[in-house]
Chains A and B, each alone.
Chain A
Amino acid sequence: MSVLTAKTGQAIPETSLGRKLKDRTVLIAVYVAFALAVIPLVSVLYKVISEGVQVISADFLTRSMNGIGGRDAGGGVYHSIVGTLEQVALASAMSIPIAVLTAVYLVEYGQGKRLAKTISFFVDVMTGIPSIVAGLFVLAFWILVLGFEVSGFAGALALGVLMIPTVVRSAEEMLKLVPNELREASYALGVPRWRTVMKVVLPTAFTGIVTGIMLAVARVMGETAPLLLTIWVTKVINFNAFQGAQSSLPTYIWEQASDPNQVAVARAWGAALTLIFIIMVLNIGARLLARRTSIR
């Protein structure tokens, strides 16, 4: 007879009342916490959608604010959609390759090396940079010191600085999850290291890396402060991200919402809904892409 079952004599004792009670309490606590977390999310979504749909129309999505004052009705977000898409695309094009390659270096080549530790430290420091500081950095360095003009590209630089550390960290975690056995299996076939990384390690981690990138993209898409300092504000459509002020959805929202007129505030809601919608579409698209290319 073991010590544990000695008391009742039964081989498998019944669950004690105390343990049932604890189980219940924890379960209820978990539900309450979940509800509390969902309340703000649902109420924000509800407010944005209910206010946004009143404004959104084909006109709203295809017009700029050219010639429209704060008090005037009409106008739209077309110039801001163009700006946001261009800025985020440029930021991604610059930062994703750098970030993924950095993660590959850290996990595949740098183990234990001094350089890897240094890079890792700076990535941590970058993670802690407040977004407005990234904007100030680009303003001070790119615009004031190097003398380039305010442009969508300058905004993309600031967003890129913000994206790099998050993408490095998430890609690093995903690469670490790839079992070492797969690398060894590849080496044992006489495949060189860099091809192993390209053809075995990266494809295995692909879905996870894409998810991490999407989170980073979604985050910078809503960044306002660094853009205010780097892209300026404009009411007109500017397709050229390399020249002159450009608009963007977050700065448009900021601009319209700080205007005390009803019509302007309504436009801010419309832009907010547009932004959320774009992020959602990108997210779903990336998920489909990741699912198609990974293991069936």
Chain B
Amino acid sequence: MAKRIEVSGLNAYYGGFLAVEDVSMTIEPRSVTAFIGPSGCGKSTFLRTLNRMHEVIPGARVDGKVMLDDQDLYGDKVDPVAVRRVVGMVFQRPNPFPTMSIYDNVAAGLKLNGVKGKSELDGIVETSLKGANLWNEVKDRLPKPGAGLSGGQQQRLCIARAIAVQPQVLLMDEPCSALDPISTLAIEDLIAQLKSQYTIVIVTHNMQQAARVSDRTAFFNIAGTGKPGKLIELDETSKIFTNPTEKATEDYITGRFG
């Protein structure tokens, strides 16, 4: 089910401000691609163009092409809402729906899209929670509010919620940055498991994490404040961390940045 993403000549704007310029890359299916780079270089912005979440912000727009296998996500007839069902997203801060129980949080994407069958929902909720390594911790309190879980559990709940709609690609924007080392490890293990089924893209500021979880790594950079962010290089993670082609990448990785 996992799909290949091919981006070509993509620019992302906030009003008149060009935040990401001319990015082209291929993201392989059934693998983990990590995005690294200094703060403000447009990693989140670029990530959000991959499921058309960028345009949710007033004034924001995108030009260029994003092909999901053979379909252009920015094609004229494509419904952005349908794109987001295929390309799921996990955010930096865990954001479970505060009015909903654990069960309803996981079922939210399905329920809000009209799936009603109780047994069908029960099944999907259980597999999603198991898929997110959370089932054992919450199986006895599914009707309790999702906001009552710990931060790490909430983040795994959000992952369960994202995989419950059975997307083909999973985008994660710094999913561990608000978590302790143990929860972080739990999520990294989870990513390793999920990659057998999904195409995964993860933004991270943690180099070790990128090295641990990803197969390929993309390095983004900016020339200075107010300048657009650019993709510097994308390669096998082992190559990026040991022998990058670009000098800027090496400087960033070895901490000789800025």
Contacts and interface: CB of A to CB of B under 8 A. Distances in A.
B242 interface: no
B175 to A, nearest CB: 13
Contact of A295 (B98, B108, B111): B98
Given A112-B58, A184-B91, A185-B91, A190 B98 contact: no
B99 A179 contact: no
A196 B108 CA distance: 10
Contacts of B97: 182, 185-186, 200, 204
Interface string A121-134: 00000000000000
Contacts of B96: 185
Given A190-B84, A296-B145, A179 B165 contact: no
Contact of A182 (B51, B88, B98, B112): B98
Nearest to A193: B81
Interface in A75-121: 111-112
A181 B84 contact: no
Contacts of A191: 81, 108-109, 112-113
Given A111-B58, A188-B89, A190-B82, A195 B112 contact: yes
A203 B99 CA distance: 7
Contact of B99 (A111, A187, A188, A204): A204
Contact of B109 (A190, A206, A294, A296): A190
A11 interface: no
A294 B84 contact: no
Most chain B CB within 10 A, of A179, A183, A185, A206, is at A185
B56 interface: yes
Contacts of B91: 181, 184-185, 188
Chain A residues touching B, majority SS: helix
B162 A188 contact: yes
Interface in B141-199: 145, 147, 158, 161-162, 165
B171 to A, nearest CB: 8
A181 B109 contact: no
Contact of A189 (B93, B99, B147, B161): B161
A24 interface: no
A190 B58 contact: no
B85 interface: yes
A71 interface: no
A107 B93 CA distance: 23
A190 B110 CA distance: 9
Given A199-B112, A204-B98, A187 B58 contact: no
Contacts of B51: 188
A192 interface: yes
A31 B98 CA distance: 37
Given A188-B88, A189-B84, A204-B99, A295 B145 contact: yes
Nearest to B86: A190
27 contacts: A112-B58, A179-B95, A182-B97, A183-B56, A184-B56, A184-B91, A185-B96, A186-B97, A186-B108, A186-B112, A187-B56, A187-B81, A188-B89, A188-B91, A189-B84, A189-B113, A189-B161, A190-B83, A190-B84, A190-B85, A190-B86, A190-B165, A191-B108, A199-B108, A204-B99, A294-B99, A295-B147
Given A111-B58, A179-B95, A192-B81, 19 more contacts: A182-B95, A184-B95, A185-B97, A185-B161, A186-B108, A187-B53, A188-B51, A188-B162, A189-B88, A189-B109, A189-B161, A189-B165, A190-B86, A190-B165, A191-B113, A195-B112, A199-B112, A200-B99, A296-B145
Interface of A: 111-112, 179, 181-192, 195-196, 199-200, 203-204, 206, 294-296
- Pick the 4 closest A-B CB pairs, nearest first: A190-B85, A189-B109, A188-B89, A190-B84
